[in-house]
Amino acid sequence: MTIIPSLKLRHKRLFSNIGNPRINNLPGLKQIAIICMATFGIPASISGQDGSTAYNYLNITSSARIYGLGGVNITAVEDDLSVTDQNPALLGSEMDNQVLLDYMLYMGGSNFAGARYAKAVNERGAWSAGIRYFGYGNLQAADEFGNITGTFSPKDVNFNGSFSYDITDRLRGGITLKFLYSSYEAYSALAIATDLGINYYDPESDFSASVVLANVGGQVKKFNETSDKLPIDLRLGIAKVFPGVPVRFSITAWNLTKWHLPYWETGDGSSSEPFTKKDKFSSNLFRHLVFGVDFIPSDRFYVALGYNYKTRTDMSTYSRSFLSGFSLGAGINLRRFNVGLAFAQPHSGATTLMLNLNLNLNDILN
């Protein structure tokens, strides 16, 4: 069976430098370290070990569908602008005149929102342009002596543009250029990043395979004297629908630029024993993999379930729940617009919600 008949012709600065002296020495940025851990759930010791440095908000998807599939997915071929978030090669002329609006209530009282527009270029190409805002709420500012000097609202903004082209009937390539602006108290920075993607899609067998090189670039303007690296990543993904079953299975491998992704197991916090470092082969393997399942009974409705082992183990330092690492999404396609919702609870004290509204201007204007 073919899930998407209309496509038959074609075959997201985390402050994870918390443990970095040059960041902690900046007046007023101590409070940013607190919201970093509360908002993104990555302890300083872990973030240092998994190789992440800065701008890790780029890994937070703007797509409810992708968030429902575990937060990382580069193979979901759909007539839906949101799925292009992590792979520009999924953008196509079938998305002509679509507008995507997204909102996310994230951990720590953070609020993310964005908008994107896509336009076809002849029959084989397409471009899109968008903006996404990451707001982390109000924090107290302090000087180097700990005296409160007021409040500030740290934020990141991602301006992005994408272009894709059908190389063959089954092979499509794409590129995204991102301009990144960050403002934390009296400090600001600018960076440029690029995503390069390619997707192979066979509509007869409903098989999709993708490769993405994400976040290649660097800072144009630094926070202080030292540059911060972007989270450059290599990602591979496959997705498959088996005949007669309206279910799509997907596996995405990410963080492939480094093998070791250790984490610390802390138990329930009642023991005085030292934390246990987990760095076994099986642990590293599964922290690289994200599993997703779509139930798609028709082209008008879907339910998505994902499991991200890295998210679950990152929460080992916190009060994680049974739901940690799991995510759930659902969407309905109407004539003039699509609505997508996604939910996850990385740990017991934080629930994240995402909403997508995808408008088709061609249908609205006609």
Q: If pLDDT is split at 50, 70 and 90, which confidence band does 234 have? A: very high
Q: If pLDDT is split at 50, 70 and 90, which confidence band does 243 have? A: confident
- Tell whether the model's pLDDT for residue 40 goes beyond 50: no
- Tell whether the model's pLDDT for residue 81 goes beyond 90: yes
Q: Which amino acid is at 341?
A: L
End-to-end CA separation in angstroms for the chain: 31
pLDDT digits (tens, 9 = 90+) for 119-150: 999 989 999 999 999 998 887 787 778 888 88
| Percentage of the residues of the chain whose pLDDT score is greater than 90 | 58
Give the residues across from 213 on adjacent strands.
Answer: 196, 234
Q: What is the pLDDT of residue 33?
A: 39
Q: What is the pLDDT of residue 319?
A: 55
Do the bridges between strand 350-360 and strand 247-253 make them parallel or antiparallel, or are there none, so unpaired?
A: unpaired
By mean pLDDT, which of 8-12, 285-289, 303-307 is the weakest? 8-12
* Token representation of residue 170: 């089954």
Question: Could you give the C-alpha distances from 340 to 1, 102, 110, 300, 359, in angstroms and in order?
Answer: 24, 9, 20, 11, 12
Q: What is the pLDDT of residue 268?
A: 57
Average pLDDT, the chain: 83
Q: What is the pLDDT of residue 76?
A: 96
